[in-house]
Amino acid sequence: MMSVDKTIQTDRIKLAFVERGNPEGTPVLAIHGWLDNAASFDCLAQNMDLSDIRLIALDLPGHGLSDHRERGQIYHLLDYVVDIVSFIRVLELKNIVVLGHSLGGIIGLLTATAIPGIVDRLILLDSFGPMTDKEEKVAEQLKKAISKICLSTPRPSTVYQTFDDAVSARLGGFGKIDASAARVLLQRGLVKTGKGYKWATDSRLREPSLVRLSEAQVRGFMESVGCPVCLIAASDGYVSLETNHNPRLAYLSNLETHLVSGHHHFHLDGDVAKTGRIVNDFIYADA
């Protein structure tokens, strides 16, 4: 399957992305998770029928081959929504499907609330809304974030002697992942230097959030999503499909759910074939 690497300049930042499939097909905007990149969807794309789909996998700001934010800026969750809408406007996309994994699913959900006339469908991969804080915790969160962002000395970037050394380090990172999947991600997630390999991701991505939403605010966002939503959870992931463990399942009025074997990155190293079928069926449901 042919993929085409592209970059585009929005009014905010230069973004890199990968296109596959039919340029005249239904636009599907794929948004990866935290510290990942557009290669997150390489395996899934190989297990999808793209004959009538224009699959656009984006590197979020600070990730993959996209630009980092300017010095002095931070990575706030809601800023990503502005970035996504700017990207959609520049590409002049309409009637799109948003496909998001982890952080990408959170951003996709918020985008669906922000531009409901443009997002027709939403697919969430082991992702179901933002992290929250109780009201009594917000001051402590701000204190922790400011201490890290403004008052601490940045640590020098880690340099790995070999590509495999970096793969080993990624295996110990957030979200269980196997070595083959890590290699897929790191083909786009590393920069080769004269001394070895270092992460392409902006180190500021690891800074704590200044503030998190409350559960009431998350409910408000989710209840405003009017388009059909498909939630695909991993059997050993982070999202529960049990209503007694996940009250957010009641927040969405038009939701279908599926369980797929695998861990948090199941679209890379779990039952990718089943995931591809579910995604295709949902996109083509009313075709």
Cα dihedral 232, 39, 176, 132 in deg (nearest 10): -60
Q: Residue 147: which of 210, 195, 90 has the closest Cα?
A: 210
- The pLDDT of 229-241, averaged and rounded, is 97
pLDDT of res. 240: 97
Active site residue 102: yes
Percent of the chain with pLDDT over 90: 93
Residue ranges per structural domain of the chain: 3-133+213-283
**Catalytic pick from 51, 102, 209, 240?**
102
pLDDT of res. 1: 65
Residue 30 has pLDDT above 80, yes or no: yes
Residue 80 has pLDDT above 90, yes or no: yes
pLDDT of res. 287: 60
Cβ count near 125 (within 10 Å): 33
Residue whose tokens read 């020098």: 156
Q: What pLDDT, in 10s, does the model give residues 246-284?
A: 999 999 999 999 999 999 999 999 999 999 999 999 999
Paired tokens of 21? 């499939």
Q: How confident is the model at residue 285 (pLDDT cuts 50, 70, 90)?
A: confident
Taking all residues of the chain, what is their mean pLDDT, rounded to a whole number?
95
Provide the whole-model pTM. Answer: 0.96
Q: What pLDDT, in 10s, does the model give residues 208-222?
A: 999 999 999 999 999
- The pLDDT of 142-162, averaged and rounded, is 91
pLDDT of res. 22: 97
Q: What is the CA radius of gyration of the chain?
A: 18
Round to whole Å and give the CA distance between 275 and 269.
11
Residue 70 has pLDDT above 90, yes or no: yes
Q: What pLDDT, in 10s, does the model give residues 154-203?
A: 888 899 999 999 999 999 877 779 999 999 999 999 999 999 999 999 99
Q: In what order do the strands lie in the sheet with 26-31?
A: 3-9, 14-21, 53-58, 26-31, 96-101, 119-125, 229-234, 255-260
Specify the CATH architecture of the domain 3-133+213-283.
3-Layer(aba) Sandwich (3.40)
